[in-house]
Amino acid sequence: MRGEIGWSRKKPLKASDALEGDLGVTGDDADDFMDAFSKRFHVEPGDFDFHRYFEMEGLPIWPFSILTNWLHRRWGIPQYDKREPLTLAMLQRAIALGVWDTERLREPQARRETK
């Protein structure tokens, strides 16, 4: 899947690398990547929430951001003040589980912080 994120085979990847923060995968590219990932590795979407991990494509232009915030509230789409990192380790665990289960996939340190 290196081709989907534009990383050379020569570049070493670590399990702790985050798709958005470390690899620069965000917006529409992140959406395409996660779709290809789930199909290729037969991972059911479960409780996957794109907005938990990734920013949407485009600039937060003032009138537009007010409209989208209102629509999100109206449609009940969760808003996140801070994005959680989606790491390669989480993708590996999702493959092993066969489903996206946020609580089981989160980094062990993040799980301890929420308890």
Pick the range with the lowest mean pLDDT from 51-55, 60-64, 74-78, 91-95.
60-64
Q: Which residue has the higher pLDDT, 28 or 2?
A: 28
15 and 85 in contact (C-beta within 8 Å)? no
Average confidence score pLDDT of the chain: 80
Q: What is the pTM of this model?
A: 0.71
Nearest to 87 by CA among 115, 114, 53: 53
Contacts of 72 (CB under 8 A, 6+ apart): 78, 79
Length in residues, the chain: 115
Q: Rounded to an integer, what is the distance from CA 105 to the centroid of its chain?
A: 12
Q: Which residue has the higher pLDDT, 94 or 62?
A: 94
Tell me, what amino acid is at 47?
A: D
**What is the pLDDT, as a whole number, of residue 86?**
95
> Whose structure tokens read 């994120």?
5
Model confidence over 89-114: pLDDT tens digits?
999 999 999 999 999 998 665 444 44
60 and 72 in contact (C-beta within 8 Å)? no
Whole-angstrom distance, CA of residue 36 vs CA of residue 39: 5
Whole-angstrom distance, CA of residue 101 vs CA of residue 34: 14
